[in-house]
């Protein structure tokens, strides 16, 4: 069974008449994907025991729902969807447990041009998510965008992002956030200077 593709093992699983044959297929299929799921869970959780809990949840869910897997995507894609969901739920629960310290830190570090607060507020309301997305796309590099997406889009804690993306610099994802926000600030200031010049 080791030489069969995922699709072929799944064929065997769905065609099997006896429980022991289905069990053999499940075990063979899961065994080949333990490294992926375990690595992912270790990076999200940051410690062995929580990672074990997470990985166990992933395979329990995969086992429960395998019968309804429609095989419209690759098995690994389906397994990733489960892993992603388990890990994100874990990250959100962990964040809720320990309080939103990172948010407080971020808010203290807002990119504000305090010289013109009135104008800022009016313009802030006008700033659409689409414009900010375009700015992020234009100003940030790919790693900074990944860090931003995981942190602000998915609520993944910075230490988990550091491990997940294999960031080996001293401050990990936090350094990317700080650097990216400075880049955004510079981009906004230069846009402001241009606008003032044209206003004249």
Partner 1 sequence: MTGVMRIDEDTLRAALAPSPECPGFEDLATFADASADARDRRVAAHVSGCARCRAELDLLAEFEAASPRPEEELPARWITARLEADVARMTGAASEPARATAGTARATAEQEAAARPEQPRSPAMDRAARRWNMRAVLRPAVVALAAAAAVVVVLNLRRPPAPSLSPDAGAGATVFRSTSVTLVAPEGDVAQAPEALRWEPVPGAASYSVTLTEVDRTEVWRAEVRSPEAPLPPAVRARVVPGKPFLWQVTAKDASGDVVATSSAQRFRMPPSNPPVRP
Q: According to CB under 8 A, which residues from 48 to 87 bind partner 1?
A: 48-53, 55-56, 59-60, 63, 72-74, 76-78, 80-81, 83-84
Q: Of 5 and 169, which has the nearer Cβ to partner 1?
A: 169
Residues 124-143, interacting with partner 1 (CB under 8 A): 124, 126-127, 129-138, 140-143
192: how many CB neighbours lie within 10 A of its CB?
A: 14
Pick the binder of partner 1 from 5, 7, 14, 113 (CB under 8 A). Answer: 113
Q: Of 68 and 121, which has the nearer Cβ to partner 1?
A: 121
Residue 178 touching partner 1 (CB under 8 A): no
Pick the binder of partner 1 from 32, 92, 145, 183 (CB under 8 A). Answer: 145
C-alpha Rg value of the chain to the nearest Å: 23
Q: How far is the CB of 115 from partner 1 (least distance, A)?
A: 9
Q: Distance between CA 159 and CA 164 in Å, rounded?
A: 9
Residue 96 touching partner 1 (CB under 8 A): no
86: how many CB neighbours lie within 10 A of its CB?
A: 24
Residue 13 touching partner 1 (CB under 8 A): no
Binding piece for partner 1, criterion CB under 8 A, among 3-11, 91-99, 190-198: 190-198
Q: How far is the CB of 10 from partner 1 (least distance, A)?
A: 14
**CB-count burial class (<10 Å; 0-12, 13-18, 19+) for 16:** middle
For residues 148 and 136, the answer to whether their CB atoms sit within 8 Å is yes
At CB < 8 A and 24+ separation, what contacts does 124-130 make? none
| Residue position matching structure tokens 């203290």 | 108
């Amino acid at each position: 069974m080791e030489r069969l593709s995922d699709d072929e093992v799944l064929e065997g699983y769905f065609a099997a008449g006896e429980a022991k044959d289905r069990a053999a297929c499940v075990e063979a299929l899961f065994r080949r994907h333990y490294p992926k799921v375990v690595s992912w869970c270790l990076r999200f959780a940051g410690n062995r025991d929580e990672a074990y809990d997470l990985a166990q949840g992933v395979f329990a869910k995969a086992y429960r729902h395998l019968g309804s897997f429609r095989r419209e995507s690759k098995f690994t894609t389906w397994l990733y969807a489960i892993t992603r969901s388990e890990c994100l739920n874990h990250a959100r629960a962990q964040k809720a447990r320990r309080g939103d310290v990172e948010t407080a830190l971020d808010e203290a570090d807002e990119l504000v041009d305090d010289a013109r607060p009135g104008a800022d507020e009016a313009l802030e309301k006008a700033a659409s998510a689409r414009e900010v997305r375009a700015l992020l796309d234009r100003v940030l590099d790919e790693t900074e965008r990944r860090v931003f997406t995981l942190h602000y889009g998915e609520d993944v804690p910075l230490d988990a992002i550091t491990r997940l993306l294999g960031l080996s610099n001293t401050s990990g994802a936090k350094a990317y956030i700080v650097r990216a926000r400075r880049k955004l600030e510079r981009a906004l200031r230069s846009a402001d200077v241009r606008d003032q010049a044209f206003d004249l």
